[in-house]
Amino acid sequence: MSTTINTYHSSFNPPPVPPRPGHRGGPVLASNTPLVKFISVVLLLLMIQTFGGFIYLFHKISTLQDRRYDNEISALKQLQQCAETNPASDDIQYCSKLMELYRIVLKKVSTAEGRVAFLMETGSYTIPQARLVSNKDMGQSNTLLWSTSHSVLDKVSLSMSGVLTIQYPGYYLIQSHVTFSKAHAKDPLKQVILSQKTGKRPSELLRSFCSLPSGNTIPSLCTTSETAVFRLEKGERLFVNVTDKQLVNMEFTTFGLFRLQD
Ligand SMILES: *[C@@H]1O[C@H](CO)[C@@H](O)[C@H](O)[C@H]1NC(C)=O
C-alpha cells in the first residue's frame, strides 16, 4: 500500500510563505528602475566610446599609410629627376645619397625575399647536401654508382645510374675522392666530374689524375681528389666518370655536395 500523498490533489492549501526581512513586498522592478536605467546609459556610453575609438584608430592608421605612400612617391619622383636631368654638382651629391639609400633598401628587401622564398621552397632551413659512398655493385659503365642505403641525401636526388640532380640552385661545395688499386694498361687513372644542364650536353667541371706502377706485385693505391665551389642550377645533373671502374677501390671512394648560399 502506498503511503505517499499526492499534493496536487490534496485538499490542503499550501502553507503561506513567511515574510523575509528587508523585503517590503510589492513589485521588485519598480524600486530598481532608476538604477537599471542609469547602468544601461553608462553601458551605452561605454559602447559608443569603444566603437568611436576603433573608428578613430582605423582612420589614423590609414592616413599614416597614405602619408608614407606619398613620401615614397616623392622619393621616386626625385630619383627620376636625378636620372632624367643633368643635375648641378650639389644635386649630384644629393642624388647619389638618395641612390645609396635606395640600394640599401633594395638589398634588404631582396635578401628578406630570398630567405622567405628559400623557407617556402624548402619548408625549413635544412641545407641541401649529399654524402655518397660508392656502390659495391659495379655495373658496366664507367660512371660511378652510389649506394642509396648508405648515402646521406638532403634535397638532392640520386638515380640508380649514379646521377645526382640539383633541386635548389645556389653555390655548392663539391668534394670527390676516387681511389684506384690497379694501373690501366694504356690510359692514366683519372676521375672527371661532369655536369649536364637541362637541354645541354654534359660538360666537365673537374678532372684529376693519379698513377700507380704497372705490373706491381705489392698492393698499392692512389687517390684522385677534387674540391671546388660551383654555382649549380635547378635540374642540373652531376656524375663522376673514371678511366675504368674495374680499377677503382670502392671502399675509399666518396662524393660530397653541400649548398653554401644562393
Ligand atoms: C661517362 O661515362 C659513361 C659510361 O661509361 C659514358 O657513356 C659517357 O660517354 C661518359 N661521359 C663522358 C663525357 O666522358
pLDDT digits (tens, 9 = 90+) for 80-91: 877 777 767 777
241 lines ligand 1 (CB under 6 A): yes
Separation CA 237–CA 212 (nearest Å): 31
List residues bridging with 156 in a β-sheet. Answer: 166
- The distance in angstroms from the start CA to the end CA of the chain is 95
For residue 130, the tally of other CB atoms under 10 A from its CB is 23
d(CA 242, CA 25): 108
Report how far apart, in Å, the C-alpha atoms of 183 and of each of 188, 207, 246, 247 are: 8, 18, 10, 7
Check if the beta carbon of residue 195 is closer than 8 Å to that of residue 151.
no
More confident residue, 77 or 261: 261
Amino acid letter, 245: K
Per-residue pLDDT tens digits for 173-199: 999 999 999 999 999 999 999 999 999
Which amino acid appears at position 93 of this protein?
A: Q
DSSP string over 177-202 = EEEE-S--SSSPEEEEEEEE-TTS--
Q: Rounded to an integer, what distance in angstroms lies between the CA atom of residue 227 and that of residue 151? A: 19
Tell me, in angstroms, the distance from the centre of ligand 1 to residue 202's CA. 9
Handedness of CA 165, 167, 169, 175 (dihedral sign): negative
Give the domain ranges of the chain.
42-121, 129-261
pLDDT at 144: 95
User: How many residues comprise the chain?
Assistant: 262
pLDDT of 65 over the 50 cut: yes
| Contact criterion met (CB below 8 Å) for 212 and 137 | no
DSSP state of 134: B
Rounded to the nearest whole angstrom, what is the distance from the C-alpha of residue 152 to the centroid of ligand 1?
Answer: 25
- Which residues face 55 on adjacent strands? none
Q: What is the number of the ligand 1 atom nearest to the C-alpha of 142?
A: 5
> Cell 640600394 maps to which residue?
103
Please compute the mean of the pLDDT values over residues 42-56 and round it to a whole number: 90
Residue 13's pLDDT is what? 60
- Mean pLDDT across the chain, nearest whole number? 84
Residue nearest to atom 11 of ligand 1 (CA): 241
In terms of pLDDT, which residue wins out, 101 or 226? Answer: 226
At 30 the pLDDT is 57
* CATH class in words for 129-261: mainly beta
pLDDT at 168 over 60: yes
Please work out whether the CB of residue 175 comes within 6 Å of at least one atom of ligand 1.
no
